[in-house]
Chain A
Amino acid sequence: MFAYYLQLGLRSLRRNPVLTALMVLGIALGIAASMTSLTVFHMMGSDPIPWKSSKLHYVQMDNWDPNQPYGDDGSPPDQITYRDAVALMQAGKADKQTAMFKLALPIQPANPQVKPFMALGRVASADFFGMFEPPFRYGGPWGRDQDAAHARVLVLTSDTNEKLFGGQDSVGKTVRMDGVDYSVVGVLDKWKPRFKFYDLTNGALSAADEFFMPFTTAIDLRQRASGNNSCWKFPGEGWDAYLQSDCVWIQMWVQLDSPARLAEYKSFLDSYVNEQKRLGRFPRPLDNRLPNVTQWMQAQRVVPRDVEVQTWLGFAFLTVCLVNTIGLLLAKFMRKSGEIGLRRALGASRSEVFRQFLIESGVVGLSGGLVGLLLTGLGLIAVRALYADYKNVAQLDWTMVLTTLVLAIVAALLAGLYPTWRACRVQPASQLKTQ
């Protein structure tokens, strides 16, 4: 019977092409508007590392000005000082830990064909790779021993390796950056986190890192971060004074494998800050925070307000389109009252009429969904053109494709419910009489 009703539905839709087109277009536009915005919302807002996001914690400590909090809402700074980062790294109380900052360095390629270029990279500790799990193409990460030895080593990303070594296995080769030679220990495979969730301070959608370098090595070479730096008092003159100052410019992540470990680390952090308070630092009330990946994303508002508003608006628009569809389906079904009366008189039960018309609504929904999917694709192309930095987040994935189709069919069935119910209530006798 399903196949027959499907056939009837298709025939009925073909009989009234303008009305059908109107309904399909209505659903398609509503679906496209809501799904385009929902896709961006989903890609930016959903967990980028679901298998371990609850174990990775960002470290926040309030070393700020006693007279004025760092955040407008009183929140502690979004980065920590060099001296605290080193103290926490040396204590090594977490299961894994990395201090890091953003660094721009000029690369002087050995190949004279390639012009020197500025590379944006990340200074991190050996554990970074085990924590955020970028896949390796060649070689591997440097070890903790190389952190300790301030080794001049690098991990390159695949794009940089392509640029410098034509994509060959470059492990063991040398790269010169700002007059210093580093040897390559590893090359990453294509690593495309949708956004840079491990550095929300310097822009979740900022350009991908091009190299990784040990934290200790960069400090040895007196490399200043090219990311955000904030001071609440004069750091003093010179590099050493800067390292000892209360300026915040370092990001710290720790991996804590269980809630018990998290509680332990929290109390370790509290005792560390209390100890520092006795030394005259940390003048504000104790406020250590260890948000996990998704909590940190919320606190840093990774999803821009505009995207949220667009998503709400997209669904409000879909509602209008559905109300519109209800009206049009009602018009269409009521026009067929005579036919319904005839079928009922010939013995079709109410539930069969109900099924027939619901299938017809479903067909409208599916067609609307398919056209809507196409329009969503176009919508995302438009979004990528409008927002230059959305190229990784304005992308459909399988979840979103399925969601689109399901949403369209559910929407159309919902819209079809009332008109179908009205259609079943057609009295066969009254319809046959007027004929």
Chain B
Amino acid sequence: MEIRPILSALMRSKVALVLIGLQIALTLAIVCNALFIIGQRLERMQRPSGMNEVDTFAVTSSGFGEGFDVRSTMEADVTLLRSLPGVAAATAINSLPLSNGGWSSGLVLKPDQRTPLASAAFYFVDAGALDALGLKLVAGRNFKPEEIGYRTMNDNVTPAGVIVTRALAEKLFPGQGAVGRQFYIDDPRTTPPTTVVGVVDRLQEPWVDSKEIEYSVLRPQHLPYGNSSTYLVRAEPGRRDEVMKQVEDKLAAANPSRIVRGLKSVESVRAEAYAADRAMALILGAVIVALLTITALGIVGMASFWVTQRTKQIGTRRALGATQFDILRYFLTENFLITTLGLLVGAVLTYAFNVWLMTHYESPRLPWHYVPVGFLCLWALGQIAVLGPATRASRVPPAVATRSV
């Protein structure tokens, strides 16, 4: 293999070597880190909320005027919603997973505990919630209709029993079985503890950025906010959109002194919650594609230039007995060498970039396999890009050597 002559030829045009090498190095660093970020975002977006997101939607009622009574409205609304054709289940609820708004609080096991053991989201629901959300009960029981109370500004009752998620149960009572155990969900100095009556498999908090996203508590209470109340409806499979269309009119007709608003499928709530992650992944993807294109075109441009510059030498080599394949191999090997040098520098840059992201943007460490995979891809990219000019070089006729340019 003629590596030495190639190297000495390269050393004579160091600038070209540096330019292509630098471009390859930066490309590797950017592509690896961008792909890593894309991977993290996709992983984040795929976390299950724990609820049935396909058949469900939410709707809010906001009453106005002196005569409006939010309690009787809530009860009438839930009854009405459950009676609609195509509705499988419905519940009053204060907030939804993925909605980025809700109520959270610190939880303690003993009244004198200073720092909370965990912070959890509260969902204020009725006995239809497990069915409406499509949650799987893994221990204990569901709420009974007679357990459902109210929580308002003048009525601060702590419920006797609550349902928690498996993740929260494991955090509060590790390895002990949570059902029947007690903890404090409200101010432990002024309120009694509550008992776990059931455990559901999984239910995310409303905040997608939450650190412990699966710490949720279901409270058997209605929580109207002023005159507003929100409902979650699960339609029979395949009938969601049809049910959504009639719900607004039905609720508005049932009580004219209110506004029916916020009609949203949970799928659209999810799309909104992760819009920024999706955007980031798409933008980074576009940058990667553009970067690889530019780099490939740059290699093509430089290689074509070299071929033109060296037409005479190629002719001479051909005249001295080199085959077309020898010439082709010369350019491919040359590109391989340049790319490899660039990649070695790029590997250092990649980790430097990752460390910078780790210190400034709380990024995790780049898994080791990104860099070797990046090497393979860029080697391949370089070889493919140089193939065209190299083929052209191999077709230079030996007779060129005898002519002047």
Residues of A near any B CB (own CB < 8 A): 19, 22, 26, 29-30, 33, 67-68, 104, 106, 108, 115-118, 177-179, 223-224, 226, 233-234, 237-239, 242, 304-306, 308-310, 313-314, 316-317, 319-321, 323-324, 326-328, 330-331, 334-335, 383, 386-388, 418, 422, 434-435
Contact = CB atoms under 8 A, between A and B. Distances in A.
A431 to B, nearest CB: 11
B114 A67 contact: yes
Nearest to A36: B283
Interface in B5-22: 15-16, 19-20, 22
30 contacts: A22-B301, A30-B294, A67-B115, A68-B116, A106-B63, A106-B258, A108-B65, A178-B64, A179-B65, A234-B186, A234-B189, A237-B156, A238-B154, A306-B280, A309-B361, A313-B34, A313-B284, A313-B287, A317-B291, A320-B26, A323-B298, A324-B295, A326-B19, A330-B16, A383-B283, A386-B275, A386-B279, A387-B279, A388-B272, A418-B15
Contacts of B295: 320, 324
B62 interface: yes
Contact of A327 (B20, B34, B272, B283): B20
A320 B309 contact: no
**Which 8 A-B pairs rank lowest in CB-CB distance, beginning with the nearest?**
A331-B305, A234-B187, A386-B279, A324-B298, A106-B64, A179-B65, A327-B19, A67-B114
B164 to A, nearest CB: 21
Contact of A317 (B155, B227, B258, B290): B290
A183 B187 CA distance: 42
B254 interface: no
Q: Which of A68, A238, A309 has the most CB of B within 10 A?
A: A309
Which secondary structure characterizes the binding site on chain A? helix
Interface string B301-336: 110110011000000000000000000000000000
A104 B261 CA distance: 13
A90 to B, nearest CB: 25
Contacts of A321: 294
Interface string B259-303: 101000000000010011011101110010011001101100110
Given A108-B65, A116-B258, A387-B276, 5 more contacts: A33-B290, A234-B191, A324-B297, A327-B301, A434-B405
Contacts of B284: 313
Nearest to B18: A323
B153 A242 contact: yes
Interface string B147-170: 000000111100000000000000
B357 interface: yes
Contacts of B287: 33, 313-314, 317
A178 B63 CA distance: 8
Given A323-B23, A386-B275, A224 B226 contact: yes
Contacts of A226: 225
A430 to B, nearest CB: 13
Interface residues of B, number: 62
A29 B294 contact: yes
Contacts of A313: 30, 34, 284, 287
Given A234-B186, A320-B26, A334 B298 contact: no
A179 B66 contact: yes
B176 interface: no
A106 B259 contact: yes
B142 interface: no
Contacts of B20: 327
Given A327-B19, A418-B15, A68 B276 contact: no
B19 A68 contact: no
Contacts of B275: 386-388
A234 B26 CA distance: 55
A19 B301 contact: yes
Given A67-B115, A434-B404, A118 B30 contact: no
Contacts of A22: 297, 301
B14 to A, nearest CB: 12
B400 interface: no
Contacts of B357: 309
Given A335-B308, A434-B404, A386 B282 contact: yes
A72 to B, nearest CB: 10
A26 B37 CA distance: 25
A327 B155 contact: no
B27 interface: yes
Nearest to A229: B103
Contact of A234 (B154, B156, B276, B282): B156
B190 interface: yes
Nearest to A29: B290
A96 B275 CA distance: 39
B26 A323 contact: yes
Contacts of B278: 386
Of residues A224, A306, A319, which shows the largest number of chain B Cβ atoms within 10 Å of its Cβ? A306
Contacts of A239: 153-154
A334 B309 contact: yes
A167 B34 CA distance: 49
A386 B287 CA distance: 15
Nearest to A23: B301
A68 B115 CA distance: 7
A116 B61 CA distance: 12
A242 B295 CA distance: 63
B291 A310 contact: no
A331 B13 CA distance: 12
Contacts of A117: 259, 261
Interface string B233-276: 00000000000000000000000001101000000000010011
Contacts of A308: 361
Interface in B23-82: 23, 26-27, 29-30, 34, 37, 62-66
Given A317-B291, A321-B294, A330-B16, A335 B23 contact: no
Contact of B15 (A30, A68, A238, A330): A330
Given A22-B301, A116-B64, A331-B305, A320 B19 contact: no
Contacts of A328: 298, 301-302
Contacts of A314: 287
Which of A19, A26, A331, A434 is most buried by chain B, counting CB atoms within 10 A of its CB?
Answer: A331
